[in-house]
Amino acid sequence: MSDSIFDSPARANEWDRYWKGSSSANAYSAGGSKHPVLQQFWRELFMASLSEYPQGRMIDLCGGSGAVLSAAEGLSVSEGTELISLDISVSALALVVQNYPYVQTIAADAAHIPLESKTMDLVSSQFGIEYAGEQAMSEVARLPRKGGKLALVLHHSDGLIQQECASSADAIQRLIDSDLISMALDMFEKGYSMLRGAGSDEFHSAARAVNPVYRSLEPIMDEHGVHVAGETIATLYNRIAEIQKNLPRYEETEVIGWLEAMASELPAYADRMVAMCQSGQSPEQFKSFCAHLSQMNYRIQQAHPQQIADTTLPLAWMLVAEKS
């Protein structure tokens, strides 16, 4: 289990920064939050819960921009039903309000939920509470009332997403270590000076220095694929070459601004990828959590790794338990 974000406000800020910059609806590109298998899982669960608990209270923990709640869209929700989304990021919650105005939001740490015990009919979390540490695992278990359910989709330590995050973390760290961005900044600054009438020697010498570092992106893409890290590496690789070739066509402030923004965002991105890797639950951790729930009078209804087509790696752990 990773450190609690409560103990690491910096990481909480990173999530907020992530959601602030995101207009997209989920935290992963491929094979992630909105995978059809997961959407189907949540839709079936919501369909059953909405009819089983008319006027029920349902909370999605660490809900991000609402990937789980989106599965309930279009289902008939009786008046009095409460849908709540909790997240540590106010920017994520702002997206929930925008996309699902009927959902209430709570900005809080999942390790310290400001709600009374045994007050919920359905408590859900998808790739969420495992970021908030051991305490969040106990917090989720105290929320359902008798007959209520706990439904969790948890990162699998050997899963597809963990592998994707490990590749992204490695690729971004290698990019940071290469110093390519500051060298490219230096090269372009000299290029624009040249266009303003300064000599060309400085630009050509900076370009010669950049070249081997620029080429060091190739083995990263060979190893991890061109889509690694949300195509950050491939985009940088293509754009640097394109701008260098056609410098007069590009605004200096735009080019410098783009590279400076990237330089400041990369460490946070790498950090988030590492946090995702660390949040993966091993088979032993998952088994022990299930045993803990059984001791707390939960009847386990589903507890298994979720496989998907075209890969032997699991997508996630699936867990549904009913409080008796």
Ligand X SMILES: C[S@@+](CC[C@H](N)C(=O)[O-])C[C@H]1O[C@@H](n2cnc3c(N)ncnc32)[C@H](O)[C@@H]1O
Q: Does 151 bind ligand X (CB under 6 A)?
A: no
Contacting ligand X within 97-116 (CB under 6 A): 109-111
Q: Does 27 bind ligand X (CB under 6 A)?
A: yes
Strand arrangement, sheet containing 120-126: 104-107, 82-87, 57-61, 120-126, 144-154, 316-323, 298-306
Q: Does 88 bind ligand X (CB under 6 A)?
A: yes
The gap between the terminal CA atoms of the chain, to the nearest Å, is 27
205 residue type, one letter: S
Separation of alpha carbons 53 and 19, rounded Å? 32
| Residue 39 CB-density burial (10 A; 0-12 exposed, 13-18 middle, 19+ buried) | middle
Contacting ligand X within 5-24 (CB under 6 A): 5-6, 15
For residue 270 the two structure tokens come to 């790498």
- Yes or no: say if 59 and 96 are a contact pair by the CB < 8 Å rule: no
Q: Among residues 110 and 184, whose Cβ is nearest to ligand X?
A: 110
| Interface with ligand X (CB under 6 A), residue from 1, 58, 59, 67 | 67
Q: Does 170 bind ligand X (CB under 6 A)?
A: no
Segment near ligand X (CB under 6 A); pick from 123-131, 175-183, 194-202, 239-247: 123-131
Q: Does 26 bind ligand X (CB under 6 A)?
A: yes
Segment near ligand X (CB under 6 A); pick from 127-135, 230-238, 248-256, 309-317: 127-135
> CB of 277: closest distance to ligand X in angstroms?
12
- Yes or no: say if 65 and 96 are a contact pair by the CB < 8 Å rule: yes
Q: How many residues bind ligand X (CB under 6 A)?
A: 23
Segment near ligand X (CB under 6 A); pick from 58-66, 69-77, 93-101, 234-242: 58-66
| Interface with ligand X (CB under 6 A), residue from 31, 56, 64, 159 | 64
Q: Is the dihedral of CA 292, 293, 298, 301 positive or negative?
A: negative
For residue 282 the two structure tokens come to 């091993």
What residue ranges bind ligand X (CB under 6 A)?
Answer: 5-6, 15, 26-27, 33, 62-64, 67-68, 87-89, 92, 109-111, 126-128, 131-132
